[in-house]
A and B are shown apart, each in its own frame.
Chain A
């Protein structure tokens, strides 16, 4: 019987060479249900939704949509059947306005004037006001997501798939989004919601399917479970919370004073009068939505960009004009957000990638000549201590999953025992277990007396490990506050609230 279900999936299987991404997956979604897909990275969530959206063809298994067999050959067919998807990464042109961007995604776009009117109607009806004439380049991340959502809503979908929609939003923006999703569901639109933020899933979703290793391991009603229970179902074992024992704070060792930086790209933000100070053993959390100066901050602190004299000080010594290697020599290390192509070289082996930043503080060279054996041992040490899952150090960095490569990158910096470590989005796209071990490694480093700056969009993460919290918004860094006693609402306001976005009265 599939009559009362909107989407019914049975025995869906998809194998890639060497790995079965989905193995006999089955679940169902009722009309108007908000259904969560939960699982670690590599559990098979993306493959599953790609099959539903017609991007990947299953090897075996059946799908039924509204009781009829459903075999989308391509996304266009999926959209025609009433399935829409909002991707984690936006596909928008910054130089075009909202209406033009929406028109580009349509098969038969109506005249611009009509389209603009429709965008206004729909966006107001769902509490996501959006001006169709604005340039996408000028929009905040939350507003850009609205463009993607409106694009989907214009097709009047029966099933809306959302992939990690809240990773770019402030808490206030998340609230607005949830209002919209609840309204959609009350009108009968089913929502398939992919996220690893367990609290969100508990507050939003009616049902959840949990995947592990390509198989469905459990289904549940998230409201009836604790976040910890959900995490344990995902990981398939006991979930280890980070150990945040008291650390003793030492002297101030790192200072940034009135740091300005011109934008690094056309639509990028400038840094304006950034000031912070850090004591030994302290973890400072820098929150904020991506694109507000995080990359720029990491670049100026790690030495990729130099800044005006007197703006960056380590142990009182002015290091503003030093490059990355000179800063490493003095004990300051960084780990950028983008793993492939920035923190690591995709086509090079892990041994080579260990050499990338490791030659300054580790004896991996002899008068400039590479000691490949020492480099390989260093890579093996990282792999072993940070539980990097890979056949060995000869494997190219691009062959590793995002989480494993991130463990390698963080491990490479931590094992050089820096005095100051700056990391940008250390657990972005990393599964729960790996994220926990990365956070623990950062805390362990701090407890040995290092100062750590964690730049992250994940507020739960910052609350979990940071001693003090400050917000980066449009290139300005707020004054730091102790994380203890800080509420989510206060954090949201520090992050710029809803960025002036309004929620229309429903």
Chain B
């Protein structure tokens, strides 16, 4: 019999060590899975975790790391604020898409005029677009007590259809020989979000992600507003007693996470991706949920988790190409990471006693 005994005070030590144990457990379970698929597990694990950083082609992959981690961290920072308050925005993917469409629309409307004001205007439009898309579930929740989980998730599919419409319709490149997709913003200097330091992959979005991490840390751990958000997540009645207005909290959290997701979309469309296409969204909005939890909803944890997740993406791609691993196996591998992390999290709040059960 295994008995769980609640710890009176959560264990600090375990809250730091469980992520490491979870990564190790993922390597073991994932290795078994790769072995069952007939691949060399050691080679697969090395290819996912080691080669992108220190392998023969590391110079290229290291740049990719920040490109992939940037949007994940930016989105996850916003989501974590809401998750801490018990407000579950599952629709960051949709807010990401709408942010990209709004930002790109501003650029394409101005094309081909060059101005220093264009990029800032695009940033505002991207953030605003994501904010608006996040406010839909917020307003519905406040007015009609709908579930923000369902509404925000369903709005992802609405956003995907809007994206297809934009790529095939109003935003289609008039000089694109009939191919779907917008003009490439990488070739429009005023609207381009370039690599700031060559070879690092760091663009404005990566910088924004860093700012978001620091901002989220100050908000959540140094400011009374973040304190109240944490209280709301821990004990809703105590939060009301402490003067939190639930409606305002819902609007703030969904609005903030929406705006940050929208920003991530804007930086992606104006940078690495370059254009609005039907398949522009790559699942960052959903993966960011995993990143938020992997980083235990703490801004600094999210920074590390975002980098780790980006690593498994890049390494997973490599393993797919070089070892012929199926893409689904990589997704299962990432799923294992979240599973083990949440599973081992029990140790933070509970002690485990193995032996005869005693009431």
Q: A-side interface residues toward B, CB under 8 Å?
A: 55-57, 74, 302-304, 323-326, 328, 334, 336, 338, 340-348, 352, 355-357, 359-360, 365, 368-370, 394-396, 398-399
Q: Which residues of A contact B224 (CB under 8 A)?
A: 355, 359, 365, 368-370
The distance in angstroms between the C-alpha atoms of A230 and B9, with both chains bound, is: 36
Closest residue of chain B to A56 (Cβ to Cβ) is B359
The distance in angstroms between the C-alpha atoms of A336 and B235, with both chains bound, is: 14
Closest residue of chain B to A334 (Cβ to Cβ) is B241
Q: Which residues of B contact A343 (CB under 8 A)?
A: 238, 241
| A-B complex: 8 closest residue pairs judged by Cβ atoms | A399-B8, A325-B243, A396-B9, A342-B237, A341-B235, A324-B243, A345-B235, A345-B234
The 8 Å CB contact of A342, one of B10, B223, B238, B358, is: B238
With A342-B238, A370-B222 known to touch, is A57 a contact of B358 (CB < 8 Å)? yes
Closest residue of chain B to A375 (Cβ to Cβ) is B227
Q: Is the beta-carbon distance between A324 and B10 smaller than 8 angstroms?
A: no
- Extra contacts besides A302-B241, A304-B240, A368-B224 (13): CB < 8 Å: A55-B359, A56-B359, A328-B243, A336-B241, A342-B235, A342-B238, A342-B241, A347-B10, A355-B224, A356-B238, A356-B242, A370-B224, A399-B8
Least Cβ–Cβ distance between B164 and chain A, in angstroms: 44
Whether B352 is near chain A, meaning CB under 8 Å from some CB there, is no
Least Cβ–Cβ distance between B11 and chain A, in angstroms: 11
Q: Which residues of B contact A334 (CB under 8 A)?
A: 241
Q: Is the beta-carbon distance between A356 and B241 smaller than 8 angstroms?
A: yes
The distance in angstroms between the C-alpha atoms of A347 and B348, with both chains bound, is: 12
The 8 Å CB contact of B238, one of A57, A302, A345, A396, is: A345
Least Cβ–Cβ distance between B170 and chain A, in angstroms: 43
Q: Is the beta-carbon distance between B234 and A347 smaller than 8 angstroms?
A: yes
With A368-B225, A369-B222, A370-B223 known to touch, is A398 a contact of B8 (CB < 8 Å)? yes
The 8 Å CB contact of A338, one of B237, B242, B243, B358, is: B237
Least Cβ–Cβ distance between B163 and chain A, in angstroms: 39
Q: Which residues of B contact A359 (CB under 8 A)?
A: 224
Q: Which residues of A contact B225 (CB under 8 A)?
A: 368
For chain B, residues 224 to 268, give those with C-beta under 8 angstroms from any C-beta of chain A: 224-225, 227, 230-231, 234-235, 237-238, 240-243, 245
The distance in angstroms between the C-alpha atoms of A56 and B358, with both chains bound, is: 7
Closest residue of chain A to B231 (Cβ to Cβ) is A345
Least Cβ–Cβ distance between A376 and chain B, in angstroms: 14
The 8 Å CB contact of B235, one of A302, A346, A357, A360, is: A346
Least Cβ–Cβ distance between B239 and chain A, in angstroms: 8
Closest residue of chain B to A355 (Cβ to Cβ) is B227
Interface centre among B222, B240, B245, B358 (most CB of A within 10 A): B240
Least Cβ–Cβ distance between B46 and chain A, in angstroms: 40
With A365-B224, A396-B9 known to touch, is A323 a contact of B359 (CB < 8 Å)? no
Least Cβ–Cβ distance between B352 and chain A, in angstroms: 14
Q: B-side interface residues toward A, CB under 8 Å?
A: 8-10, 222-225, 227, 230-231, 234-235, 237-238, 240-243, 245, 358-359
Interface centre among A57, A302, A348 (most CB of B within 10 A): A348
Q: Is the beta-carbon distance between B241 and A324 smaller than 8 angstroms?
A: yes
The distance in angstroms between the C-alpha atoms of A344 and B230, with both chains bound, is: 13
Q: Which residues of A contact B359 (CB under 8 A)?
A: 55-57, 74
The 8 Å CB contact of B241, one of A304, A368, A396, is: A304
The distance in angstroms between the C-alpha atoms of A394 and B10, with both chains bound, is: 11
The distance in angstroms between the C-alpha atoms of A12 and B142, with both chains bound, is: 56
The distance in angstroms between the C-alpha atoms of A326 and B8, with both chains bound, is: 34
A-B contact pairs, 9 of them (CB 8 A): A74-B359, A304-B240, A324-B240, A334-B241, A336-B237, A342-B241, A347-B10, A347-B234, A396-B8
Q: Which residues of A contact B358 (CB under 8 A)?
A: 56-57
The distance in angstroms between the C-alpha atoms of A344 and B234, with both chains bound, is: 10
Q: Which residues of B contact A342 (CB under 8 A)?
A: 235, 237-238, 241
The distance in angstroms between the C-alpha atoms of A495 and B242, with both chains bound, is: 32
Closest residue of chain B to A400 (Cβ to Cβ) is B8
Q: Which residues of B contact A344 (CB under 8 A)?
A: 235, 238
Q: Is the beta-carbon distance between A369 and B9 smaller than 8 angstroms?
A: no
Q: Is the beta-carbon distance between A357 and B234 smaller than 8 angstroms?
A: no
Least Cβ–Cβ distance between B199 and chain A, in angstroms: 39
Closest residue of chain B to A340 (Cβ to Cβ) is B235
Least Cβ–Cβ distance between A192 and chain B, in angstroms: 19
Least Cβ–Cβ distance between B315 and chain A, in angstroms: 36
Q: Is the beta-carbon distance between A348 and B231 smaller than 8 angstroms?
A: yes
Least Cβ–Cβ distance between A334 and chain B, in angstroms: 8
Least Cβ–Cβ distance between B128 and chain A, in angstroms: 25
Q: Is the beta-carbon distance between A341 and B222 smaller than 8 angstroms?
A: no
The distance in angstroms between the C-alpha atoms of A394 and B241, with both chains bound, is: 22
The distance in angstroms between the C-alpha atoms of A368 and B223, with both chains bound, is: 6
The distance in angstroms between the C-alpha atoms of A323 and B247, with both chains bound, is: 13
The distance in angstroms between the C-alpha atoms of A370 and B231, with both chains bound, is: 14
Least Cβ–Cβ distance between A17 and chain B, in angstroms: 8
Q: Which residues of A contact B227 (CB under 8 A)?
A: 352, 355, 370
Least Cβ–Cβ distance between A364 and chain B, in angstroms: 9
Closest residue of chain A to B242 (Cβ to Cβ) is A356
Least Cβ–Cβ distance between A343 and chain B, in angstroms: 7
Closest residue of chain B to A73 (Cβ to Cβ) is B359
The distance in angstroms between the C-alpha atoms of A395 and B10, with both chains bound, is: 9
Q: Which residues of A contact B237 (CB under 8 A)?
A: 336, 338, 341-342
Least Cβ–Cβ distance between B5 and chain A, in angstroms: 8
Least Cβ–Cβ distance between A480 and chain B, in angstroms: 27
The distance in angstroms between the C-alpha atoms of A344 and B235, with both chains bound, is: 8
Q: Which residues of A contact B238 (CB under 8 A)?
A: 341-345, 356
Q: Which residues of B contact A346 (CB under 8 A)?
A: 234-235
Q: Is the beta-carbon distance between A396 and B223 smaller than 8 angstroms?
A: no
Closest residue of chain A to B358 (Cβ to Cβ) is A57
The distance in angstroms between the C-alpha atoms of A247 and B8, with both chains bound, is: 42
Least Cβ–Cβ distance between B7 and chain A, in angstroms: 9
Least Cβ–Cβ distance between A198 and chain B, in angstroms: 31
Least Cβ–Cβ distance between B226 and chain A, in angstroms: 9
Q: Which residues of B contact A74 (CB under 8 A)?
A: 359
Q: Is the beta-carbon distance between A323 and B245 smaller than 8 angstroms?
A: yes
The distance in angstroms between the C-alpha atoms of A74 and B358, with both chains bound, is: 11
Interface centre among B222, B234, B238 (most CB of A within 10 A): B238
Least Cβ–Cβ distance between A273 and chain B, in angstroms: 25
Q: Which residues of A contact B242 (CB under 8 A)?
A: 324-325, 356-357
Q: Is the beta-carbon distance between B235 and A369 smaller than 8 angstroms?
A: no
Closest residue of chain A to B9 (Cβ to Cβ) is A396
Closest residue of chain B to A55 (Cβ to Cβ) is B359
Interface centre among B10, B227, B230 (most CB of A within 10 A): B227
Least Cβ–Cβ distance between A462 and chain B, in angstroms: 24
Least Cβ–Cβ distance between A477 and chain B, in angstroms: 22
